[in-house]
Structure 1
Amino acid sequence: MSHFTHMKTRFQNLFYLEKALNRLNIEHKQQEKIIHDSKSSHINLIIPQSNGYDIEFSWNGQEYELVVDMSFWKQPYPIESFIDKIAQQYAGEVVIGESQKIGFQPVKYQQNSDGSNVLVLERWNDEK
């Protein structure tokens, strides 16, 4: 019997979520979900697992929540660590992406052995 757990996240941007997964080398694929009552759709992200019980980041209208059957969790670390690792990368991708929109460029992105990240951005002032 399956018991799916829905874990709330703060992931609201598909582009940055995918970049975070890519940075962590987490294989994933997009899956379009069509909303039957309306003629709209949204994209969910599927993380395949070797046991066939995939992990899903499902759009709930406000954020991507993690949907998983905990009894079939087959990742190399606990779910809390899994979400924390993704959240840390997601935050870095948001900072880089949003900073570039206002003229900053990333100069350095370093992942330290203690799990922390260093991000250095720069912007040149062209006005004299």
Structure 2
Amino acid sequence: MSHFTYMKTNFQNLFYLEKALNRLNITYKQQEATTENSNLIIQQLNGYDIKFDWNGQEYELVADMSFWEQPYPVESFIDKVAQQYAGEVIIGESQKTGFQPIKYQQNSDGSNTLILERWNSTTVL
């Protein structure tokens, strides 16, 4: 008997969520939803897939915890995705105001280092 768990997240942007999953080398596929937002499916070898399901406000993680087959517990999984998602949001939104990422690295303690720069040109007459 399956018991699906719905876990709230703060993932509201599909583009940044996909970039975060890509950065973590997590394979997924898009599932068209009835709304304008797509859902993301992470297939597991046991056939009990993980889904990021749009609920109208955010992408919830939906999974049957009895059949969780990821290399780390669900809380760690969400934390890792959230950390990468935050980095992608910072990069993407900063680029809109002229910043460019010059360094993005994962540190041995699990933290990330992100350095952005923006050059302003000054015209002297």
Structure 1 length-normalised TM: 0.94
In structure 1, the partner of 2:13 is: 13
| Alpha-carbon shift at residue 42 of structure 1 (Å) | 2.5
In structure 1, the partner of 2:29 is: 29
Distance 1:55 1:107 in 2: 33
Q: Which amino acid aligns with 2:114?
A: L
Structure 2 length-normalised TM: 0.96
Distance 1:22 1:59 in 2: 19
Query: What is the SS of the residue equivalent to 1:83?
Result: helix
Aligned residue pairs total 123
Q: 1:77 aligns with which of 57, 62, 72?
A: 72
In structure 2, the partner of 1:110 is: 105
In structure 2, the partner of 1:59 is: 54
Query: What is the SS of the residue equivalent to 1:33?
Result: coil
**1:31-63 deviation per Cα after TM superposition (whole angstroms, max 9, x unaligned):** 0022xxxxx443000000000000000000000
| Alpha-carbon shift at residue 78 of structure 1 (Å) | 0.2
Distance 1:104 1:31 in 2: 33
Q: 1:43 aligns with which of 11, 26, 38?
A: 38
For structure 2, list consecutive stretches of 5 or more residues without a partner in the other structure.
Answer: none
Percent identity of equivalent pairs = 79
Q: Which segments of structure 1 move beyond 4 Å, counting only runs of 4 or more?
A: none
**1:68-108 deviation per Cα after TM superposition (whole angstroms, max 9, x unaligned):** 00000000100000000000000000000000000000000
Distance 2:71 2:39 in 1: 22
Q: Please report the RMSD computed on the Cα atoms of aligned residues, expressed in angstroms.
A: 0.8
For structure 1, list consecutive stretches of 5 or more residues without a partner in the other structure.
Answer: 35-39
